[in-house]
Amino acid sequence: MTLLQYLSVAALLFGTGLYGLIQRRNLVAMLIALELMLASVSIAAMALTTYAGGDTSVGLVIALIIAGVAAAETAIALSLFVVIQRSTHSIDVEQLSELKG
Amino acid sequence: MTGPVVAAVLAQAAPLAACVTILVGLRRRHAAAAALAIASVTVSLVATAWLVKAIAVPDTRLLAQADWLPIAGSPALAFGVYLDTLSTTMALVVAAITLCVMVYSVGYMAEDPGFGRYFGFLALFAWAMLGLVLASNLLQLLVFWELVGLASFLLIGFWYERAAPAAAARKAFLMTRAGDVGFLLGILMLIRALGLATIPDVIAAATARLEPGFVSTVAALLLMGVIGKSAQGPLFTWLPDAMEGPTPVSALLHSATMVAAGVFLVARLHGFFMAAPAVMNVLLWLTLVTALATATMAMVANDIKRVLAYSTISQLGYMLMGLAAGSVAAGFFHLTTHAGFKALLFLASGIFIHHAHSNDMREIRKAGPAPRAAVIGLVAGSLALAGVIPFSGYFSKEAVLAALGEHAGPVVVALAYVGVALTAYYTFRMVFLTLRGESAPAAHVEHHTRGAGAMAAPVLVLAALTLVLGWLGGWFTTRLSPLAGHEGPLAFGTGPMAATVLTALGVLLAWVEFGRAGAARIGFAERVPALRSFFGDNWYLDRLYNATVVRLATALSRLARWNEHTVLDGASDGFAAGTVGSGRVLSRLQAGWVQMYLAVLLTLVAALGVWLLWPGGAR
């Protein structure tokens, strides 16, 4: 497989995640879309370090850090969603517009 | 510092200290305020008397100055004292009259709740006037000149809770300020041209360093201030209205001393003004017309203080005529004698007013016999004002007429003699209206015993002075106009008898119309309604000012108000409304819709990427 193919997969994943983030109204669905985007970045980083030569472990480290960050982020986000669900009985972003000007 | 400088500083510092102390701490303590003010002016009187002995008697001069304001390219502007015969004599006159008036005020103002404030203002005036007289620099003189104007404003409007005094104070302030604009401009032109404003240097430069045209311009500008302060020409109408102030104030400020400041200035800068003969000729005619016009106004006034106010303007005109004709001695001699007898007349009229509770001469007559001191004062002062030999006014008026006869044309002299006759007529009209005719029975209960002595004593002192001051003519002549040489102690004008005959005619006419038993008690000018309203209404000058200057000022202020409310307020209101409106429009972007923000962010990042990566684009 060539670098271009790896990057294409990463771009596809990124685009899919972005689309889902913008299009979905459910906070949980948006969080899943966000995870897709993070995964695409991991793929791109690993592919680039592998094909650009040099130390391939850099890409691995980046991917591991992203996975850790994503886990933490998901934990925080899900607990926030629970709080939001309790206080507003909804996790629809269109309902959460109290800062509207 | 030498002795005279210490004395000059002391003469100014004492009233200033009294003024501050009274206005800060003694407003409610009436006796202490009056005592302090009188003590301070006594100090000034002693100091100025010593100055006259040290400076004027040997006829020396002394200039003591220190640096004041630095000016680029020339030595600093100085401040200090300039002592010569003129200034020390004037300072003595000011201190003496102020002391008389303060003692008198103890009785006159005894029942006024503003007693302490009144004495504070009088002390302020004493300081400012002495500072004006002794100032060595024209700019310094202007500062005191304006302080004197402030004291005048405060004292005219002393009873500020009444409408008329408040309006009169405002009018006096505005009219004199109108003249002072010219005064300030003149001084600034001098400073710009010479880099200094020290009085003897300015006089020396007038003939040496400056062009005649420039001197004439500056002289005309300075004379604007003189005309405003000394109530001449077109700017005199504030003085009759200033009579709304307490009577002792009229005696001190608005007849004897403050209004004479303009005359004093012309005498002080006489060498400068004489370098502009055309301007002095205009001044001569202006003051001549003023003297005659105000004499006619005095002929129809029924308010005793207004009669005296018009006569003050008229006599100030005579002083300035003497100066304009070239004789410092004549003009200043008349200033000195006038200060004595006009203060006397006002103080005496104050006793009448206190007695009758009215300014109207007919009401005063009806109120019954007045205290003897008032009658003596009124008669002695009137004899001096009319110029009856041997009272002081005779000598000084003869000196002025002599100066006119020597230096002015026959028309001026003839008109000045007409003025003499008019003066005698209106003066004795006042005397006869006040002292003769029907009256209440003498059983009038005297209930104003409190302070009567304090009021009578200065009147009697000044009455005695009217018999003394006239003999000082030679003293002034030898010191102030040494080249004239002809005026001895007994000064005679062009025709020694002419003035006396005209005075007698005026008195006789007044006797026929007002004095003799069964007189109609109505003057020839009052019989003609047109003349009566013309003379009684300041020759319609106030109406003219109301129709032109006041209306113009009102229109301008209306324009300013429109500008304020429509243009300036409109601009700021519009700006505020625009801010609010655009904020309202832009706040729609804050939709509270997270995904729209994301979409916008994405679009912008994409656009940025395209812009940065476009081949041959941004970079």
Distance from CA of B600 to the nearest CA of A (A): 10
Contact B592 A101 (CB under 8 A): yes
Distance from CA of B595 to the nearest CA of A (A): 5
Give the mutation candidate from B582, B585, B588, B595 for the A interface (greatest A CB count, under 10 A): B595
| CB within 8 Å of B470: residues ≥ 6 apart | B337, B384, B390, B391, B392, B393, B394, B395, B396
* pLDDT single digits (tens) B293-308: 999 999 999 999 999 9
B537 pLDDT higher than 90? no
Contact B591 A100 (CB under 8 A): yes
N-to-C CA span, chain B: 81
Which residues, numbered 38 to 97 in chain A, qualify as contacts with chain B under a Cβ-Cβ cut-off of 8 Å? 93-94, 96-97
Coil/strand/helix, residue B68? strand
- Give residue for tokens 């972007």: B589
Return the residue of B nearest to A98 by Cα.
B592
Return the residue of B nearest to A25 by Cα.
B595
Give the mutation candidate from B594, B596, B600, B601 for the A interface (greatest A CB count, under 10 A): B594
Return the amino acid letter for B73.
G
* pLDDT single digits (tens) B267-298: 999 999 999 999 999 999 999 999 999 999 99
The predicted model gives B212-221 an average pLDDT of 94
Distance from CA of A89 to the nearest CA of B (A): 18
Return the residue of A nearest to B586 by Cα.
A101
| CB within 8 Å of A91: residues ≥ 6 apart | A26, A27, A28, A81, A84, A85
The predicted model gives B566-570 an average pLDDT of 94
What pLDDT does B557 receive? 95
CB of B591 less than 8 A from some CB of A = yes
CB of B580 less than 8 A from some CB of A = no
Q: Which residues in chain A touch residue B599, judged by CB atoms under 8 angstroms apart? A: 22
Return the residue of B nearest to A99 by Cα.
B592
What average pLDDT is seen over chain B?
A: 89
N-to-C CA span, chain A: 50
* pLDDT single digits (tens) B323-379: 999 889 889 999 999 999 999 999 999 999 988 888 999 888 888 788 889 999 999
* Cα-Cα-Cα-Cα dihedral sign, residues B444, B448, B453, B458: negative
The shortest CB-CB distance from A99 to any of B586, B590, B595 is to B590
Question: What percent of chain A clears pLDDT 90, i.e. is strictly above it?
Answer: 62
CB of A21 less than 8 A from some CB of B = yes
The predicted model gives A52-56 an average pLDDT of 78
**DSSP output for B516-555:** STT-----HHHHSHHHHHHHHTGGGHHHHHIIIIIHHHHH
CB of B584 less than 8 A from some CB of A = no
Q: What is the 3-state secondary structure (H, E, C) of B357-374?
A: CCCEHHHHHHCCCCCHHH
CATH number 1.10.287.3510 given to A3-90: yes
The shortest CB-CB distance from A98 to any of B586, B589, B592 is to B592
The predicted model gives B599-616 an average pLDDT of 89
CB pairs under 8 A between A and B: 32
Taking the mean position of all CA atoms in its chain, how far away is CA B303?
A: 20
**DSSP output for A69-85:** HHHHHHHHHHHHHHHHH
Return the residue of A nearest to B595 by Cα.
A22
Per-residue tokens: B192: 């710009």
Rounded to 10 degrees, the C-alpha dihedral B162/B166/B171/B177 comes to 170
Give B187 or B69, the one with higher predicted confidence: B187
Contact A101 B595 (CB under 8 A): no
What is the predicted ipTM?
A: 0.76
The predicted model gives A60-76 an average pLDDT of 93
**Confidence grade of residue B536 (pLDDT, cut at 50, 70, 90):** confident
- With b meaning 16 or more CB within 10 Å and e meaning fewer, what string describes A79-89? eebeebeeeee
What pLDDT does B281 receive? 93
Q: Which residues in chain B touch residue A94, judged by CB atoms under 8 angstroms apart? A: 593
* Cα-Cα-Cα-Cα dihedral sign, residues B31, B149, B88, B233: negative
Cβ(B366)–Cβ(B451) under 8 Å?
no
**Confidence grade of residue B493 (pLDDT, cut at 50, 70, 90):** very low
| CB within 8 Å of B408: residues ≥ 6 apart | B284, B321, B325
Distance from CA of A100 to the nearest CA of B (A): 4
CB of B604 less than 8 A from some CB of A = no
B336 secondary structure, DSSP code: H
B464 C-beta neighbours (distance < 10 Å), count: 14
CB of B588 less than 8 A from some CB of A = yes
CA nearest to B202, candidates B114, B139, B288, B134: B139
B222 pLDDT higher than 90? yes
What pLDDT does B490 receive? 43
Per-residue tokens: B597: 């923000």
Cβ(B189)–Cβ(B218) under 8 Å?
yes
C-alpha span between B101 and B459 (Å, rounded):
9
B365 CB burial (10 A radius; 0-12, 13-18, 19+): buried
Contact B592 A100 (CB under 8 A): yes
Return the residue of A nearest to B585 by Cα.
A101
Per-residue tokens: B388: 């009856």
Return the residue of B nearest to A20 by Cα.
B595
Rounded to 10 degrees, the C-alpha dihedral B520/B526/B530/B535 comes to 180
Contact A97 B591 (CB under 8 A): yes
